[in-house]
Amino acid sequence: MKEHLEIARKQFGRDEYARSLGIVLDELSDDTIRMHMRLRRDMLNFYDRPHGAVIYSLADTAFSVLGNNKNTICVALECSIVYHASPRPDTVLVVEGQTISTTRRTGAFLFNVYTEDSAARTLIATMKSVSYRTGKPIDPDVAR
């Protein structure tokens, strides 16, 4: 397994907020990610629908892991999300993300959040994110 991906997995394992939401890392490669979480009762808004911030948090967590998977500290420059549908409570949300482009200092990413059942996927949200690469290593003992 690639050492820089292991560093990203380890960093995710230390993310208390993601843990509190029940976010699970399913797959991580150099350019893609897949995560999921179950929508709990305490994540509902006053309309008894999942809060938009919870949906955003899932996509943003995927951005954090994918953006930082090259052993270089990256921070968000911009994130924008479009909500396409409201998921039902107590369903599983899945996020899949991909790297669109990278330069020495920036990265562009796209994430789709959806629900999935035996019949079909329902697109819930799309997030576009741009990162800034600081040039500083997450683990200075590992080559980038």
* Weakest mean pLDDT among 25-34, 105-114, 131-140: 131-140
Q: For the chain, list the domains and their CATH numbers.
A: 3-137 (3.10.129.10)
* 4 band by pLDDT with thresholds 50, 70 and 90: confident
* 23 band by pLDDT with thresholds 50, 70 and 90: very high
What is the share, in percent, of the chain residues with pLDDT greater than 70?
98
Q: What is the pLDDT of residues 52-102, one digit of tens each?
A: 999 999 999 999 999 998 888 999 999 999 999 999 999 999 999 999 999
Closest Cα to residue 144, out of 14, 2, 9? Answer: 2
Per the prediction, the chain carries an average pLDDT of: 94
SS3 state of residue 13: helix
pTM, 2 dp = 0.94
* 143 band by pLDDT with thresholds 50, 70 and 90: low
SS3 state of residue 59: helix
Residue 116: pLDDT over 60: yes
Buried (b) or exposed (e) across 33-56, using 16+ Cβ within 10 A? bebbbebeeebeeeeeebeeebbb
